[in-house]
Every structure is written in structure tokens, then in C-alpha cells.
Amino acid sequence: MAEFVRVDSSTSGHTMDKSITLPPDEIFRNLENAKRFAIDIGGSLTKLAYYSTVQHKVAKVRSFDHTTKEATGDNLYEISVQEEVTARLHFIKFENAYIETCLDFVKDHLVNTETKVIKATGGGAHKFKELIERKLGLKVDKEDEMTCLIKGCNFVLRNIPHEAFVYAKHADSEFRFQTTQPDIFPYLLVNIGSGVSIVKVESEDKFERIGGSSIGGGTFWGLGALLTKTKRFDELLQLASKGQHTSVDMLVKDIYGGSYGSLGLTGDLIASSFGKSATADKEFSKEDMAKSLLHMISNDIGQLACLYAKLHNLSRVYFGGFFIRGHPVTMHTITYSINFFTKGEVQALFLRHEGYLGAIGAFLKGAEEDNPNQYSWGENYAGSSGLMSVSPDMNPMQRARSGTFDMLEMDRLEGKLVNLPLLQDASSYIPDTVDLTEDAHAREYWLYCFEEALDGVVKRAVASQPDMPEAAERAEKFRQKYRHKLQTLRHQPFAYGSLTVRSLLDTREHCLNEFNFPDPYSKIKQRENDMALKYYQKAVKCLDELSWEERQYALVRGVLAGNVFDWGAKAVSDVLESDPEFGFEQAKRQLEERPWLVDSYDQWFERLKGPPHKCAMFFVDNSGVDIILGVMPFVRELLSRGTEVVLASNSGPALNDVTNGELQILTESIAAMDPVIQAGLREDRLTLVQSGSSSPCLDLSRLDKVLAMVVRERKTDLVIIEGMGRAIHTNYYAMLRCESLKMAVIKNSWLADRLGGKLFSVVFKYEVPAPSQHSAALTPS
Amino acid sequence: MAFNGHQCDDESIDEDETPTKQPRSNKEMPGCFINEPKNEAAASAGRATSDRRTSNSTARQRSDSVKKTRPPFPWFGMDIGGTLVKLVYFEPKDITAEEEQEEVENLKSIRRYLTSNTAYGKTGIRDVHLELQDLTLCGRTGNLHFIRFPTHDLPAFLQMGRNKHFSSLHTTLCATGGGAYKFEADFRTMADLQLHKLDELDCLIRGVLYIDSVVSSGPSECYYFENPTDPDRCIQRPYTLENPYPLLLVNIGSGVSILAVYSESNYKRVTGTSLGGGTFLGLCCLLTGCSTFEEALEMASQGESTRVDKLVRDIYGGDYERFGLPGWAVASSFGNMMSKDKRESVSKEDLARATLVTITNNIGSITRMCALNENIERVVFVGNFLRVNTLSMKLLAYAMDYWSKGQLKALFLQHEGYFGAVGALLELLHPS
């Protein structure tokens, strides 16, 4: 059974103070444009969902029309901040006690009049139907609970990286997040509500309840209440976490005196749950009985889940329902049970947004005409609360969750994001090089590093909007928000999935966007682009004078030297700030001499003597010197060799990374000076694509669909990834099916130290896939 | 071999002879359809001359080597479980005058003590209705007695063994169950007895196959419930386990073991669950204050589980058609007990019933999944949880039939809890 039943008399909600004042901007955001409401009312928590359109500022670049406007100074292009409307999904979770207050608030702030119905699901939907209709003036339209649950589950699995995790109580990091699988189906969802429903999900629309059990959360709660006279579910769990089941349960060793060796049953195994309580003259502690009950129920559910998984040959088993809902105690016992019964063959998986599945599903049911599944959605780290730990012993402060509003916000992304077709194994690809959730030392350093850099980012944000007097105020809000996020992550590094340098950078971008700082580096990028362009011809001329051999080396050094110009790296931004004349030549001098920290230049050079590549996909990094004086001459050489080149740049701004919009203008103006580039563009041998990302890092499993198409069409056989964010923080270990070149200068002394180098150490990693795998892929046997 | 005057006599076997029906109690088995008038005194007195020989199965097991190795009396098989000790005792009825004379006093006294009583001490009980009479074992004819007492009274039993100088008989005591290991030292130190320890699952299977074979022509050892899904027409029927393999053997003692049996020697333990008879009794004791299995069952028989459990219809007002769930199905065991009002309105009997139903149905659903995974259609339920527990048997029969849409058949055996002990006895007589 799913969460069929919720018992209201057991929740303390009704005695709570309902007259809370809601901080409106922070919880029910963007209500003015809200539509497509959905609500999931459970036994104690309500989840409200709606769709809104968010107007936010984006920085756009536009070429000057040089024929008419000659007097625009030195600038190549102009930057304008425009309003853009994007779609956002809001999900808010709160205690049922606040439902009336919340509905009133929503009613007061809802401007939109188009909305006529609200989709509702969950056991409490019926009970609150009248209240919702009266308060909101919307017609309640009930949706099947299980259908909503599955729809929601598919949605989060597909759209939220690191949605699913394995729970390991005693590991360094309790939560081990799973990478998003290219194909999420088939899977088993075990929903432990008052009873248990076991659902096999085969595709978006095809699922079947293959079984269930009446021994579920309701049994724990009901039987627990009878045995211990403890009324609340949470308190029962707390009791259980303190108890000793061995005084109540009959263990194998109680019967055998030790283990049952021939069957491999260890002595500590429970032979008979409550087997020792079969006596009238002994008292048992509440804690011990609750613990025994918890084990009994968890083991039983785990065993059934395994039997069903085996029968249907499924290895992905997700657990949800109020029995699980973030409770470390039950996640642990269920995990233990699954490990025991499958000998580790099946892992128990849990979901970060498990509590939202019903609401998400109900929302999707109501939003079918908007076809939300045709887009990719991304979790907005600025607007989402992240996973809270509710462990009774881990963080007592968080036990007091009453009055807490938990939020999830998802932004609609430009298009559908897909894998890079050249990944060797998409299902095992992990973009990030270091998982800070598991590496406490690295975590501490990076959190400190981002906190240190915060002042500079705030300053830059304000400086980027000199005409706006309230920019300082917004920047301050940004500072508070991001600092708060960093603090949260310090205590709960698992809040948004695996903590990585990438997620820290992305969170910062999300927070900047939240306060309308869409592109704090726009002006800097503009100035540097203009400046670098002036040197382009000279740089190319110098290279052309070199011998072929010398030129290949100079081109690589040029890319590396260009990559030193990076406002994203503190060591460099300090220099850039204090010494704006920090020149390209000086950067070259700063570069480490060969042999580099990672140095496969000789192999690359040998390769260049061979036939040209068919097509190279170049993931570029910074604007200014990097792209213009470093990357473009390199591209030019590839074109001259007869290799087609695709330049992949960010769809949206991130730090001083060159965006697709900027790169188009830059390429055109370089083409005006350089016949090789011009011919490349004209003959369609040089193409620009957007990556689909607005991050200083690169997730090769979430790329723009067009990029993937181009990779296939052009038979790309070389992938070049440049910069610390894309080639070291991420993708350092990424394995591709074609040749790849990862080039970066390490501009962070801690990272350099980690990798065994020093500041400005060079990584030049040229990789050729192992021939066996290569030929296996090419020759069908 | 001093006490072992008689050799096995293969010539005496007449395989075509039909054994007589042995008496059984129907007092304790409300669902039973065995209507022979029964007299306990007559049953325990037995018959002097035997017209009952042996079955084909015993014949198969017999061999020349067995004759020579026939152990001295007394013949016991013991199964020491987590809750109960099960003891089977073979009482030879073909003792000659010469033998009688030679029989040492200790042996005589044990035989008389066991066979002339039906209760021992405060807690030992002989299940007279299960007694198998005129059984030929290893060439000797006699009666097989079935005795049980709680495992926690094992010290008293050992004391008795000591008082009766059991150890002077130099017998081998074949024992199985976890207690054979746990109490091995106690047997040695308290009663000067050396245990021959045997694997409990080996014994269980051997016992089941043996008992089924020796009573196959009488009122069937094995039975099932006809029309299990219709309470009004649900009746117990004999079943012939002719080609038993493959079968799923579910042993419900304190805990539960589920075995897939492909032949007498080829079986595997598929899985087990800790939610077994011990859980039923343990929870009942905590919830109702009762102290014995019989009390708990008595209460359960008078209670109503639907006041305790939340049913599908409690949630949906009827069937949940989307998933083919009938309204009467339990959605959440003890689910109604989440509500304070309902906790206050249920009786102890209701709680006992709900506990019984919860444990039984859970065993049913795990069994059903194992049967599907192992592709086996016949399930034999044994173990003392089923003793005088027609409620559970009918529930299991119902669950197997309903949820498998008639594919699975639930079978039961009259000697439900004693097979391990029988297997241990057989090991004494025919070491494998």
C-alpha cells in the first residue's frame, strides 16, 4: 500500500500556533505570475506546487553596426541588460498546521486569474478539499496518488543530477550520490507509507504495482504506539535509535549458542523477532521494543523488496514514503536489510526530493499542455533548501522542524540536455574530479576559499552595474544568501548532492542571478576582448614566421599562457587587479618549463605529424587573451591542417568565460582580419555551438542537444577541453571514445599542491583511447 | 550390543499389507475431518500383536549393514528449538520374554514413565493423538511417541535424565535444532550424556519424507483445504504426496525457514524470516499479557483483526481497482492503531487476532514470492506455530490460493512440529 492512510489525530499539528507570519518573498515566490497549482497533502506535511515565469535580467551583447556608427569608441560590441522571461517550478513543503495560513497568503498574492483548478493528491486531499476550494476559489481535481508518485519520481531522476543516493551510516560521508543514468528505466519503487507498495516502472507511462505488504510504516507506528505508549512517529524512531533489540529478539546465538555455521547464519542474526518477549513475567524497555519493531519491519520490507527485485530482474530499487523520508534510522535499517538479503547485489537507493514526488507528479498532470517533459530542468541552488538531515543524534537543532518551510525550485533550461556522444561509458561518467562530500580536507579548503573570495565577487557585482544605485543593496543580499549557503554546506555538505567545486561555483552563479547580477564580468570581458583583438594579427604573424615544429609548440604555449588570464582564479585575479598591464608575454614567462606537471606534448606532436583529424570539438574557457590570442591561433592551425573545428562555449555567462553570444562577435571580427578564419566560417568548417551550460565547469552528460548532433554529424574525432574548471575540476578523469586533449594552467596553489605541482603548473593531457576498445567499437564481431 | 537381542527381519515385511488407521485426536483440531471415535487409553495401550509392518519407504532404507548396526534401546530423536524441545520415542512392542528379562531396570523405568503418562512435570506433554502405532523400525515393531516441552525447561529434563541414570544406558542421543549445539555442554555436565548433533534442516526433510511415507495409506498425513477462499465451503481434505518434488517446505517455529526440496538429499534453504511463531507469541504476551501459545490462540480465535488493521476499503471505501486490490485486503497491519481513539477501543482478543493474521499473512507472502522465484507450485507448511492453529492454516491456504490465482497449493502435515525429531531418530537408526 502506498501512503494511503495518514492519521491526523496522531499529528500534533492542530495544537500548533498557526498565526505565523510568513516571510513572503522567500517562500511563496513569484506568485504574481503563478499558474498550474498542485497540492499533495499527506499525514503531516503539505506540498504545494506551482509554475511561474520569472523575469530576470540577462546580459546580451550586440555588435555595433560599424557602417553607420563609426564613433562608438574602441568597443567592438555593446552590452545591454535585457529582461528575459524564463519558466520556474516552485515546490514548497510545510506542516499541515499552516495550510490555512498558506492558502490565505497564496490567495492574497495571486494576481493571475486564468487558473481555475488545482490538482490534488495525497491522503489528506479529500479532507482539505472544501478548505482549498473556499480559500483559493479553485476547483480541486483529484489525481491518483501512485500515478503522481511515479511521474514525480521519473521527473526528478531525469532532471536532478545526484538525486538518488546510497545511505551508509558509518562511512565518511553518509550520502553517496549516484550519477544520473542515461536511461532511468526500469526501476522498482518501494513506497513505504502506512503499508508498502512495490511498483515496477518500465517507462514514462508504464508502471505496475507488482506487490506490496501490509507491514509498513503504519505497523511501526500503530504497533509501536501500543507497545510503548508513544504517540508520535518521530518519537518512536527516536526511541528505536536508542534501544537494544537483542533483549527482545531471539538471536541465532540464543538458539545455537553461537552461529549456525553450515548455513552461514551468524550468531547475531535475528532468528525470531520478539522471540524473547514470549513471557509474562519480564519487563522490556520502550527503547528496546521500538528498536526490535524497527528491525522487524525494515527487514521484512527489505526482504520482500529483494524477492520482487529478483523475480523481475531489477537492480535499481528506490525507497520512499513517510517511513523513509530522510530519516537516517530507517534508511540505515532498510539499507542493512537489502545488503543482507541480496549479499550486496542490489543497493537500496533513496531520493533527495522524495517528499516532493507526489506534488511534482500532480503538477505535471496539470501541466501536460505545457509539455514540461520536453525540456530539461535544473535545480536552482539559490532557491532550494537542499536536503536536511533529520538525524536525531546528528543535529539536535534540526529536530525542531516545525515552522520550517522547505523549498525546491527548478528552472527550465534552454533545451533538452543530453550526453556527449563520445563518452566512453555514459553510465559511469562522473564529471567532478574531487567529491568534497567525501574529502573533508578538500571541503574545508574550498569552502574557505569561496568565502574568502566573496568580498571580491560582491565588489565586482556592484561595479558591473554603475548606473544602478540599488546594486549595492542587492549585492549585499547576494552576499548574505551565498554566505548562508556556504554555511549550510559546511554542516550538510550533502544538501545538494555531492559537494564539488563545480556545485560551489554553480551555486554562486545561481545566487548572483537571483539578485539580478546576470553577468558581473561583462564589462571586464568587453575591455579585455577589445584589447586582445588588437594583438591578434601580430600574434598570428609571429607564429607564421616560426618553423612548423616550433609553431606547434608555440601554439600550445599560447593556449596555456592565454589560460592564465582568468578572473575565476584568486591567484590571478589578484594580479590582474593590481597590474592591468599583465601581458601575454609575461604570462608566457610565468609558465612552467617542460617537462610539465602532466606532459604528453611529445605524443601530441607525433600525432600532428600524422593525418589531420576530421573534426575537433573545442570547449573554450575565458574571454579576452585566452580565446583570442591563445585559442584562435590554435584553431587556425587546425583549420589549415584540414580539420574542421567546432567551438563550444557557454550558453550563459559564468565569471569571465566567453559566452556563445560574445564568441560569435569575436569570431566575426577575427574573420575580418584573418582569411583562414574567414574561409573556415564561409565553408562551414568552423562552427560555433553553445554548450547548454552557464557554469565555469563542464558536465559532459548535460550538453545542448545541438552540440551532440554536431558531434555526430561531423564525426568528431578530437575533443579539446581547456581550463581549470573544465579540464581539472571536472573531466580530468573523463574517458572519451576519441582522442582528447586537456589543457590547463593550475592557478590555485592548493590544487597545485594536491596534484603534486606548484602554482602555474601545466597540465597537458593528450589521450588516445585504448586500441582494443576502439576496434571493438568499430568492428562488429 | 547387549540389549540388542533382535536383528532386523526383512522377511517379515509385507509391503502390500495395509497398515491400520491410527487414532488421532480431533478434539484439538477443530478443522479436522477425522471422525474415528478415539480413546486415548486405547491409543496409548497399543496392541500386542502387530498387523502393521512397515511401508515401502522403510523397506527402501533398510539394508544389511543396518541390521548389524542397530543401536541399543532406548531410541530417541530430539529437536531442541528456540521455544520447544521436541522428543520422539520409539516404544518397542515386540519385546520377547527373554528380552524383558534382560532389559535393565533403568530402561524399563524410562519406557514405563514415558508411555504411561501423557504429561510430564508441569510443562511436558505427550501428543497422544499423533502417536504412530505398530510401526516397524529397523526390524522392530512398536509405537512412536511424540513429546514436547518448553526449551526453558530443559534443565529439569536433564535433571530427570540424571535421576533416572539415563547415562548408564550408554545410548547415543541424536539431537538436532540449535539447542543441540547450545546445550551440548549441559547434557554432558548435568546428565553425563553425549549428544550426536545433527543439522536441523537435514533432519526436518528426512522426517517429513519418512512420516509421510509410513502413514501414506491411512488417513492422510498430508492434507489441504478445499475451497480455501470460501469460508463456508472450506474443508480439510487428504492429499497424497506421491511425487513430492519439487516442493517448498516452510518450517514455522520461533522463526521461519523456507526450503526448496528437489529430492531427499538435494535441497536448499531459500530464505527465512524472523517473523515467526516466536514473534506471534512474543507480541501477544506484550500486547495482551498472556503467557502461553494456547492462551494467545484462544484469544485470537475470539478477536476481530479488522478493528486493528487498516483495510483497503477503510481507505478507498471499497476495492482499489487501479491495482486490483480487494477492499477486504489489509492495507496496513495495525494501521488503525495509529489513532489514539481506536487504540482505546480495541480488545486484547482483537490485538491477538491481528498479530496472528499479520504474522501468518506475512509468511504467506514471503512464501509465495519464494515459490515464484523457485518456480515451485506445492508448498508444505510445518512447524509448531501451526499446532492447533487452524486459523493460520486456513489463512495460509487462502493466501496461497487467492494471490496466486489458484496456482499454488498449501499443504499441511499432521505431525507438524515433530519432523526434526523424527529425522534425528532416523539418523540414529540409519546413519546417512
- Give residues 145 to 204 of A whose Cβ lies within 8 Å of B: 146, 193-195, 197
What is the average pLDDT score of chain A? Answer: 87
- For residue B413, the cross-strand partners are B222
Residue keyed to cell 485426536: B25
Helices vs. strands in chain B: H and E counts, helices first: 16, 17
Predicted pLDDT of residue B377: 94
- For residue A90, the cross-strand partners are A50, A409
Predicted pLDDT of residue A255: 93
A27-75 pLDDT, tens digit each? 787 787 788 899 999 877 899 999 988 887 777 888 776 555 444 556 7
Structural contact between residues B302 and B351, judged by C-beta atoms closer than 8 angstroms: no
Structural contact between residues A151 and A360, judged by C-beta atoms closer than 8 angstroms: yes
- Give residues 689 to 728 of A whose Cβ lies within 8 Å of B: none
A722-751 pLDDT, tens digit each? 999 999 999 999 999 999 999 999 988 899
- What is the C-alpha separation between A271 and B181, in angstroms, rounded? 15
Predicted pLDDT of residue A98: 86
B226 has catalytic annotation: no
Task: Pull the grid cell for residue A749.
Answer: 596553489
Q: What percent of chain A has pLDDT over 90?
A: 61
Query: Does the distance separating the beta carbons of A214 and B332 come in below 8 Å?
Result: yes
Predicted pLDDT of residue A325: 84
- Give residues 326 to 345 of A whose Cβ lies within 8 Å of B: 341
A571 burial via Cβ count (<10 Å: 0-12, 13-18, 19+):
middle
Task: Please tell me what DSSP assigns to residue A260.
Answer: B
Q: Among A280-284, A393-397, A489-493, A665-669, which stretch is predicted with the lowest mean pLDDT?
A: A393-397
How many other CB atoms are found less than 10 A from the CB of residue B309?
28
Report, as ranges of residue numbers, the positions in chain B whose pLDDT lies below 70: 1-69, 216-219
Question: A68 or A354, which is more confident?
Answer: A354
pTM for the whole thing? 0.85
Kindly identify which residue of chain B lies nearest to residue A198, measuring between CA atoms. B323
pLDDT band at A405 (very low <50, low <70, confident <90, very high): confident
B328-342 pLDDT, tens digit each? 999 999 999 999 999
Residue among B335, B329, B328 at smallest CA distance from B310: B335
- What is the C-alpha separation between B13 and B20, in angstroms, rounded? 15
| Catalytic entry in B200, B221, B349, B416 | B200
Predicted pLDDT of residue B58: 45
Query: Does the distance separating the beta carbons of A9 and B278 come in below 8 Å?
Result: no
- What is the C-alpha separation between A593 and A761, in angstroms, rounded? 9
Measured distance between the N- and C-terminal CA atoms of chain B, rounded to whole angstroms: 20
**Of B338, B339, B350, B368, which to mutate for an interface test with A (greatest number of A Cβ within 10 Å)?**
B338
Query: Does the distance separating the beta carbons of B183 and A289 come in below 8 Å?
Result: no
- What is the C-alpha separation between B203 and A479, in angstroms, rounded? 73
Kindly identify which residue of chain B lies nearest to residue A214, measuring between CA atoms. B332
A459-480 pLDDT, tens digit each? 999 998 888 899 999 999 999 9
Asked if pLDDT for residue A10 goes beyond 90, the answer is no
- What is the C-alpha separation between B101 and B118, in angstroms, rounded? 26
Q: Which residues on B lie below 8 Å from A289 (Cβ)?
A: 286
pLDDT band at A684 (very low <50, low <70, confident <90, very high): very high
* A210 at interface of B, judged by CB pairs closer than 8 A: no
A536-593 pLDDT, tens digit each? 999 999 999 999 999 999 999 999 999 987 766 666 666 666 655 567 777 888 788 9
Task: Pull the grid cell for residue A347.
Answer: 543497493
Task: Pull the grid cell for residue A311.
Answer: 523475480
Predicted pLDDT of residue A32: 77
Residue among B15, B94, B92, B93 at smallest CA distance from B60: B15
* A254 at interface of B, judged by CB pairs closer than 8 A: yes
- What is the C-alpha separation between B38 and B23, in angstroms, rounded? 6
A305-314 pLDDT, tens digit each? 999 999 999 9
- What is the C-alpha separation between A498 and B163, in angstroms, rounded? 70
Predicted pLDDT of residue B160: 87
Q: What is each CA distance from A548 to A562, A612, A650, A661, A779, in whole angstroms?
A: 21, 14, 32, 33, 36
| Shortest distance, CA A316 to any CA of chain B (angstroms) | 18
Predicted pLDDT of residue B22: 40
Interhelix angle for A217-228 vs A286-311, to 10°?
A: 160
* Interface ipTM: 0.84
B375-411 pLDDT, tens digit each? 999 999 999 999 999 999 999 999 999 999 999 999 9
